[in-house]
Each structure stands twice: as structure tokens, then as C-alpha cells.
Amino acid sequence: MHDDRSITEHRLRRVLKERIKPAVHSRPVPLTVARWEAPGEPVPVAQGLAATYEPCATGASWGPAWGTTWFKVTGTVPAEWAGRTVEAVLDLGFDRMMPGFQCEGLVHRADGSEIKGLNPYNDWVRVADRAEGGERVEWYVEAASNPVLVEHTPTYEGDQRTSADQPLYRLARMDLTVFETEVWELVQDLEVLHDLMTQLGTDDARRYEILRAVDAALDAVDLGDVPGTAAAARACLTGVLAAPARASAHRISAVGHSHIDSAWLWPLRETVRKVARTSSNMVSLMDEHPEFVFAMSQAQQLDWIKTYRPELFERIKKKIADGQFVPVGGMWVESDTNMVGGEAMARQFLYGKKFFLDEFGIETHNVWLPDSFGYTAAMPQIVKLSGSTWFLTQKICWSQVNKFPHHTFWWEGIDGTRVFTHFPPVDTYNSDLGGAQLAHAARNYREKGRGSRSLVPFGWGDGGGGPTREHLARARRQRNLEGSPRVEIERPDAFFEKARAEYEDAPVWAGELYLELHRGTYTSQAKTKQGNRHSESLLREAELWAATAAVRVPGYAYPYEDLERIWKTVLLHQFHDILPGSSIAWVHREARETYRSVREELQGITLAAQTALAGEGGRELVFNCAPHTRRGIPAGGAGVPAEAGQPVTVEERHGGGHVLANGRLLVEIDGRGLVVSAYDLEADREAVAPGGAANLLQIHPDFPNMWDAWDIDAFYRNKVTDLVGLDAMEVTESGPSSVTVRVTRSFGSSTAVQSLTLRSGAKTLDIVTDVDWHETEKFLKAAFPLDVKAERSASETQFGHVYRATHTNTSWEAAKFEICAHRWIHAEEPGWGIALLNESTYGHDVTRDVRADGGQTTTVRLSLLRAPRYPDPETDQGAHTLRFSLAPGAGIGDAVREGHALNLPERVVTGAGPVAPLLTVDDDAVVVEAVKLAEDRGGDVIVRLYESRGGRARATLTPGFAVTAAVESDLLERPLAGSAVGALTPDGGVALTLRPFQILTVRLHRA
């Protein structure tokens, strides 16, 4: 037989595109259209309905960037259409290639209730299944003219303050039509068979069976009368569509989903509307398709619907009760997990799961994080303590170098906790359920022979409208189809239960899920990151002192509502495109303003609590919120500083510069203003590598291959400029308590002023760097070449630390050329180590070199600032203050202590006398992470603590108030079985036993 395969396949594509698809909506009758431009920001629906509309024609231009245009569409169903299915096609000017990244609309009835969203693949509205003729249509479309910002080129359209005001879109089509059901079904038949056919091998007989059936169907279609011949064409396809799948075919659990970034190339306020549009589409689709299941994560997004669209929220609640609309994830937002602090990560689950429980009575069991940029090794324990049992991610398929070896596996965290995890082999969280993607999922699946199933999230995301009726049609046809994986629409938990049942002994992956991409997100938008870190610290302070005052001071009211509201604000801004710095300028401008407000409010809450505790008096009280005693002030207490070390001295250095000493450290700053010696006098050991200079600012070119704000590519290291030019150096403070040397440098269009301070009694050199940054596509680092042979570095992460190799033996290690650390990073050889501490920096790199003398230099660098131009062309421009410290001779325990001290400054209040701690712990390895009152408003005290050094610990928690019982709890403050909390001792203490890195939440019932 002659090979006519390519001819038939080409014929199919053309006939589908040019004849059959256009015939789905026939007999178009134009609707009457009028418009009203909303001034400024979006208006309430009632205002849009009541506006004065002006006539508007199809083809008219509309919509300046970030504007809202209301369209009123009216019309009458022709009498001759009686009994036919009638739909309106409302095309706002969509580009079918970019669902989610352009204009969108929401259709309302005249009474203000929403009907459905309008999107590139969802531009229709059903008028009647069986029209009566003469029916009147009157709808109002709230249309958002969001600019297209996906070209990865610098643009000022990412902020309403700098965007242009010319119209962006042209109204394409506003028609009433007859919906030709049989034609639509023929389209679905042909598309599924085309996709399946092209995935089968050219030596597969099944491919040719489909080809011959398609050829016959195309022969049966009269191109001049597609509606009249569609049924005959479909009859030719019945046999090939009825052939069942092989028994061994891969099984796919298809879960409707629409990943909506809570902010990214649009501001937060637009996400509120995107969520409403997509959710209205979903409940409407559920009305027509009872088999449809849709999973939605991010409690924040459902809370927005509750606040701004209460009528839609009630429809969603009903669908949740029916089991079709499925809350997943258990988190307030799909947050970043690398940089979020430990307590904040716990609160993501506390407030996320609490919302689902309070609003819907649902306990979510899965953690749904498809798109975050890597996953902390602390996550498995946090997941388990939240009452969750499954974890899903997708993003690691983006890794540039190494292919992740598993799709279904047990993920083991730093404490040994394991969580059952799935990484869908379809390699997308926005599947179209097309044959190419399903075939890829089956081929790519790494568990063949042990497991047989994977999960596929399907639907257009980011405001693209979610799953469509076409997706459901594909799922129906591929439920049991020869040559295709078996597709079943079902809830995520059903998939996880089946996957675990067949693969209980799945392989184990221990440690972080490091994304070999998007490493620049540890550094971009420094002020957003600083605002997050400061807010986390301020929340710790506010809760500790408010809880202490609530227990100790009669009449003091714990600010439950204020703290919860602020926490949710901070959690929202930890979303994985806000905190990582990968959103448009508008998002980060608002974030900076929000963090300022958060800071002022939390400082007010803290001061009010401290003032209530201090009482009337003129005595200076120093409040210590850090989890360790410092300067004689116990953790969680206040008093007068009692400890002082040797006085600090400063001398001129031979050859230029200064020598600072305090009896514990001796620091030499040379004539270039660089630290050439940091000598640990107690250990008789030098920290700075021979011939090296620490606190060396270095600048690199920074022009990654694609994702500007997201990425740094390894080749940035090929070129470096050491900033050694000196404008000025002077001693600005010299006294027995501290000495400060100020160094000023200019480079490019920027300046850096560094203040290096050595304090009495301290074993840290504190460095404050004020940078007026005006570079473009540059990367600023601070280098510390250390005289230590370290095979690995330790980086603080949530509730512990993670080790990473300093060598590059394998591609896995080489790929980690930029790493994330929280308050500290540590390098050591047996018996002696060095910590580098920071107040708001997350990005670091660690390299090793062998010197001519045979010694090893381990260089630790902090990533201070970047200057990418997309999506915010002014990223990080302006003034920054960055604080970090060098701690020679520090062990892990010292790093933990000093990291907290740097991030939790002392507060001075005048009052009557010392304030005793609300509670104490007698082992410094056990760190108190949070002290608060219980969420149920019952007055119990919640204490969250963890073992911080990676070893076992026994400690006694001693409350400074009467306690009737101490109960180990989960993150939602519910009792846990198998407690690590002992019974109360006669003096009221609580015995604790912790394994390495264990998180322990203790609920103290007050007498």
C-alpha cells in the first residue's frame, strides 16, 4: 500500500481548522454593544451596572493598560431558532496563544450575579439548551485590559504609574449563535484521534486503523454543510474510539486545576478578579458535568472570593459539599519554601488548614506546591505536623542539569520524617489532556514495573479560565482507549491512596528538593526580602510580649485579631513570585508599602505590651526577645545589662589601616579598608586565609539566558571585579564599648559605605553596608575567604540546618553553585569553625581552593544585590542597608545564637523593674521559636521549640505561671498521640525529649 499518511494528517488539520471548527457556532447574529470606562481602579459591580453606557461597535479598540471597561450586550434570540441550542460568542480580542496573560472578562446578569468568565478558550456563554425564540439577552461584561508582559523584555507597563494609556485590545466578536452540538462532538473526536495517532509509532498498526477511519470521516463531511453531515462523519469513527486500552496501559488520575499566581505579571488586586473569573467558570462547568472534579489550593484565594464575591462563595461551598470542588494544599498561599522562616511556614499551614476547617469542615491531607522554586528539607516534618500526609510538586522538572530520578517516592526531611510524594511525569501543571502530554506522562514515568499511575493537573492557569468542556471531552474519550493511557477524573486524595497502596516501598529521597534553576530568586528585590525577614522577627516579638502581658498584667487584652490579620498579610507576601522577587514593579512597590505598615503596627503592639509589663518607673529595662540569654538578660525577660567584656581598643596598623581588639577577637583592616585578619584570640586561630581579604565587595555581570529576575547562570562567575578602590576610611566611633571604622567606596554609578564594628565582649565583627545602587544587570557579592578546610557548609533552614558539599564531584553538587541560607551559614573543620551571619540576605555561594602552601581556602560569599530588568526594570535601584557579621571560632550552637541575636535586636523601655521571662528552657540547643496564646481564644499558652544542632536533647521547659497540664500539639494546636512531653514536675516544669531537629509544639493549660 502506498504511504499516504502525511497527506491525510495534513488534510485533517486543515479541514478541522478552516471548516469544521468554524461551523460549531453557526448563523451568527450581532449583539448590540455599549461600553463604559471605569475610572482608575476596578469598581463594585453595582457601580458598573448603574453606569451610563455609550454605543460601541465590534472592531472598536478598548482598554488602556490595567484599565477596566464594562460592556453591555443585548439581543433577542430569533424565533426560528426555537428548540435549538443557543450560545453567545463574546470575544474581547483574545490571543489564543496566551491564555492567562492578556485581557479577561466576567459576565454578569442584570441583577449583578456572575455567570462565567471570558478567556481565550472560554469565550462562549450558554443562552438556552432549547431556545424558545424571542428570548431577551442582557449581560454586563467586566473586562480587564491587562497588558501582555510575557516577552521577557524590559517594560514599564508593569506598573499603572508608568504604563501607557493607549488602547491595547480590539473587540473581536459579540454574536448570538446556534451551537451545533454534533459538530462540536466531531471536533473532539477528531482532535483526540489526531493527537493519539501522531503519538503512535509509524510501525504501529493502530496508527493506520485510526488514519483510515479519519480518512473516511473526512470523506463523509460535506464542507458546504458541516452541521448536516457531522453525524455521518462521527459514525465513521465509532469503531476506533470504542477499542479498549491495553490492560497494562498507564493510568492517569486527571484533576481539574487552574494554577493562579497570587501575584506575578499582575498586581494582587487583579488576582482577586482572576480567581473570581476562574471559579465562576468551574462551578458552571460542574453544573453541566457532575463527573468533573476541580482542585483549588491557597486559602487566601478562597478568602478573597468570600470577601468580594459572597454569592459565588456560596455556590463554591455547595460544590465543596458535593465533592466536586476540592480544596487542596492546606497553606494560606503557595509560598516560597526556601526563604520563608520556620514559624511563618508553620503559620502557612495553621491559617490555611484552619480556613478550610472553619469554612467547609474539611481537613486537607495533601500539600499542593507545583510551582515553587525548590523545596526546603524541613518541609516533610512541617507537612506531617500539620496533619497532612501527601506532597505534590511539579517544578523540579524545570531543573537544567540533572533529571530527578523518581516520580513517586518518600521524601525524607532533616529530622528523618518521611512524606509520600508525587512528582507528575506529565511535566506541567496546566495540562490540556492532549495526546502528546498524556503520551509523555506515560513514557516519562520513572516507576515502571513497580507503579502504574500518575496524576495530571489539567486546565488553563493564571487567569486562563481553568479546565474547559473540551478538556472533559478528551478525558471521556481517553478513559479506555487503545493506544492511550487510561484517564480517570478523580480527587487528588483518591490518586494518592491508590499510588501508595501499589507502591508502599517507593524509593526515598533525603534532603532538599533543590531546583537547578531560578537561583537568583534568593537575591532579587532586596527590600521585599528584608521586609519579610523583619516582619517575621517583629511578629515573634509582638506575640511573645503580648502573651507575657496577657498572662501577667490584669486587664491587658491579647490582640488576637490584629496579629492574625498581620500574619495573613505577611504570609500572602511569601507567595512564590512575591518574596522571590519575580513579580512586576507594581507588586513590589505595594509590598514595600505594606511592610512599612506592618512594621509600624507591630512595633506599636510590642511597645504597648512591654509598657504594660514594665509598669510606671524611670528605670531602663532592656527587653530580650532572642531565644538565648545575652548581656545578662534571659530570653524573654527584661532588666538592666549586667555583663560587660574587656574594653575595645583601636590602633593604627603598620602599612595603613586599623587594628581593633576586645580580648576575644583581633581584627586588622588594611589600607584598602579590607579585613586581612580576624584572629580568634581564645583559640589562637586565624579566620582569614593567608593572602586573602575578607569583606571584599565583588561585582559580576548578570545577564542570564532567559529568566532575568529568576536566574543567575553559572557563567556569571567567569568575570569578576574586586571593589578595592577607596574613597575614604575613618574611625567614626571609638570607646570602651565599641569601635567602628567606616569605609567608603565608589564603583560604576553606585557607592557603598561600610561600617565595621567590634563590640566589647563580642566575638563577631559586625558590618553594616549602606549601598546606593544604580547598576544595571550587575551582581554584588561580599566575599570572605576563610582559612578552614571544610568539606561541607551548613546553612540555616526552617527549624534546623542543611549540609551541602563544598566540592563539585558530581553534576548534582556542581549545580548548587548558589544556595539559600537563613540567618547564618557555617563552615568548619573538626574543632573549629566560622559563621557568617546576616539580617536579611538569603543567597550565598561556597567554593574551595587549595593554596600553594597545601592549605585549603573555603570562600563564603553573600549575594547582596542584583539589577535584573525584567519583569521590573528598576529592580533594587536606590538605597539599601544590609547587615551581616563574621563570627570566627563559632560552632553550630554559636551560629544559632548569634543569628538570632542579629535578627532580634534588644528593645529599651523605661519602667519599674525587671520583667521575668514567661518561660525558660534549660538547654541552649533547644530553641524557642514562638510563644503565643492559643488560636481558640481559650487563654492557653502555645510554645513552639525545636532542637537546633542536629543532636538529641533533653530539656526542661519551666513556665513562669501556674500550669495544670502540658500537651504536645500539632501545628493547629490539637493534641498529638505519642507525646515527647513528660508530666509536670513538682516545681511545675515540663520534661522534654527531642530527637535531632525535632519540632515540638507544647500547649500549656493555664490554671
Give the model confidence (pLDDT) of 141-187 as tens digits: 999 999 999 989 999 999 999 999 999 999 999 999 999 999 999 99
1, pLDDT greater than 70: no
Which whole number is the average pLDDT over 508-515? Answer: 98
Determine contact, residues 696/752, Cβ cutoff 8 Å. Answer: no
Task: Please give the grid coordinates belonging to residue 101.
Answer: 496573560
- Residue pLDDT, tens place only, 577-633: 999 999 999 999 999 999 999 999 999 999 999 999 999 999 999 999 999 999 889
| The pLDDT of residue 854 is above 80 | yes
Mean per-residue pLDDT for 98-114? 96
Residues near 70 by Cβ (< 8 Å), separated by ≥ 6? 35, 36, 37, 38, 48, 51, 53, 140, 141, 142, 143
Q: How far apart are CA 960 and CA 952, in angstroms?
A: 25
Band the pLDDT of 511: cuts 50, 70, 90.
very high
* Residue 645 pLDDT level (bands cut at 50, 70, 90): confident
In the predicted model, what is the mean pLDDT of residues 840-850?
98
pLDDT-based confidence at residue 641 (cuts at 50, 70, 90): confident
Choosing from 371, 711, 872, 894, which is the catalytic residue?
371
**pTM of the predicted structure, to 2 decimals:** 0.97
Q: Taking 70 as the threshold, does the pLDDT of residue 274 lie above it?
A: yes
Q: Are 560 and 321 in contact (CB under 8 A)?
A: no
Spatial contact of 519 and 284, defined as CB atoms under 8 Å apart: no
**Measured between alpha carbons, how far is 939 from 576 in angstroms, rounded to an integer?**
34
**pLDDT average, residue stretch 880-890:** 98
β-pair type (251-257, 486-489): parallel
Spatial CA neighbour of 968 closest among 929, 926, 999: 999
Mean pLDDT of 727-749: 97
Q: Cell match 540567618: residue?
A: 823
Kindly report the average pLDDT of the chain as a whole number: 97
859-865: average pLDDT: 98
For this structure, is 371 an active site residue? yes
pLDDT per residue over 216-231, tens digit each?
999 999 999 999 999 9
**Mean pLDDT in residue range 529-548:** 98
* Residue 943: pLDDT over 70: yes
- Residue 2, pLDDT above cutoff 90: no
Q: What is the pLDDT of residue 642?
A: 63
pLDDT computed for residue 242 by the predictor = 98
Collapsing DSSP to helix, strand or coil, 37 comes out as strand
Q: What beta strand segments (E) does 543-674 contain?
A: 619-624, 637-639, 649-652, 658-661, 665-669
The span from the CA of 799 to the CA of 628, in Å, is 16
Q: What's the whole-number mean pLDDT along residues 483-498? A: 98
Q: Of the ranges 208-222, 640-654, 786-800, 892-906, which one carries the lowest mean pLDDT score?
A: 640-654
Residue 970: CA count within 13 A, CB half-sphere:
18
- CA 923 centroid distance within chain: 34
Non-local CB neighbours of 965 within 8 Å, separated by 6+ positions: 984, 1004, 1005
pLDDT per residue as tens digits for the range 758-773: 999 999 999 999 999 9
- What does each C-alpha distance from 929 to 543, 562, 628, 837, 977 come to in angstroms? 11, 20, 11, 18, 22
Share of the chain above pLDDT 90, in %: 97
pLDDT digits (tens, 9 = 90+) for 300-342: 999 999 999 999 999 999 999 999 999 999 999 999 999 999 9
Which residues have CB under 8 Å from 355's CB, separation 6+?
Answer: 299, 302, 303, 332
The per-residue pLDDT for range 17-32, each reduced to its tens digit, is 999 999 999 999 999 9
Beta bridge partners of 795: 802, 825
CB 670 within 8 A of CB 691: no
Distance of alpha carbon 845 from the chain centroid: 22
Q: What are the C-alpha distances in Å from 270 to residues 102, 301, 421, 588?
A: 12, 12, 32, 14
H/E/C letters for each residue in 380-414?
HHHHHHCCCCEEECCHHHHCCCCCCCCCEEEEECC
Q: What is the mean pLDDT of residues 979-991?
A: 85
Please give the Cα distance from 391 to 485 (Å, whole number). Answer: 23
